[in-house]
Amino acid sequence: MKFTRITVNPHQMGEVPCIRGLRIPVSTVVGMVAEGMTVEEVLEAYPDLEVQDIREALMYAAEALRERELPLVVAG
């Protein structure tokens, strides 16, 4: 999968993945959605973002989780 809206700059934000070179980390956007904010609310909070930025941030997060195993509590 190719991400065209996610950037990592060694001279910006400590190489944290951001949206389109803006100082808006992917994790911030994903966290806002996870907390229940609507796309419209995220766009209102960050007017420089576009709907596609939010979608790609979520896709990036999903892909990052596919690449590693996280510790989970086993129900039993």
Q: Are 19 and 57 in contact (CB under 8 A)?
A: yes
Where does the pLDDT of residue 70 fall: very low under 50, low under 70, confident under 90, or very high at 90 and above? Answer: low
Question: 6-66: which CATH topology?
Answer: Arc Repressor Mutant, subunit A (1.10.10)
Tokens of 49: 């973002």
b/e map 44-73, b = 16+ CB within 10 Å: eebeebeeebbebbeebbeeeeeeeeeeee
pLDDT of residue 66: 85
Model pLDDT for residues 9-67, shown as the tens digit of each residue: 999 999 999 999 999 999 999 999 999 999 999 999 999 999 999 999 999 999 988 87
pLDDT of residue 35: 98
pLDDT of residue 65: 87
Q: pTM for the full model? A: 0.85
| Domain boundary assignment for the chain | 6-66
